[in-house]
Amino acid sequence: MLLKSSKDVQEFVREDLNYHLYLASVTHNPLINTLMKVLGEMLHREPHHIAQESIRIKEKAIVVTVKLVKIISNREEEKTKELIL
């Protein structure tokens, strides 16, 4: 995704949050769900700061996300824990 404008960045951040909320929901862990909801609230309070940080870490986030999707789809629980912790 090429981020050309602040609207693009905001859309990216919104979709990124939705992705993380989904991951939290599939853990069936109430603590993780609560933490993600708190982070979502922070996003709504500080959208510009979070959008700028997202731009800064975008490439690393893409690499980690691809790895995470692969290890989750392979049901490699220990590797998943190592990657996200």
- Is 55 domain-assigned? yes
Neighbours of 18 (CB within 10 A): 11
Nearest to 52 by CA among 2, 1, 13, 20: 13
Confidence label for 7 from pLDDT (cuts 50, 70 and 90): low
Under a CB-based contact definition with an 8 Å cutoff, are residues 53 and 9 in contact? no
Under a CB-based contact definition with an 8 Å cutoff, are residues 20 and 36 in contact? yes
- Is 73 domain-assigned? yes
Q: What is the pLDDT of residues 22-74, one digit of tens each?
A: 888 888 889 988 988 898 888 777 777 777 777 788 788 888 888 888 888 88
- Is 59 domain-assigned? yes
If one counts the domains in the chain, the total is 1
Domain extent for 27: 6-84
Please give the Cα distance from 23 to 19 (Å, whole number).
Answer: 6
- Is 1 domain-assigned? no
- What pLDDT score was predicted for residue 48? 73
- pTM of the predicted model, to two decimals? 0.52
- Is 52 domain-assigned? yes
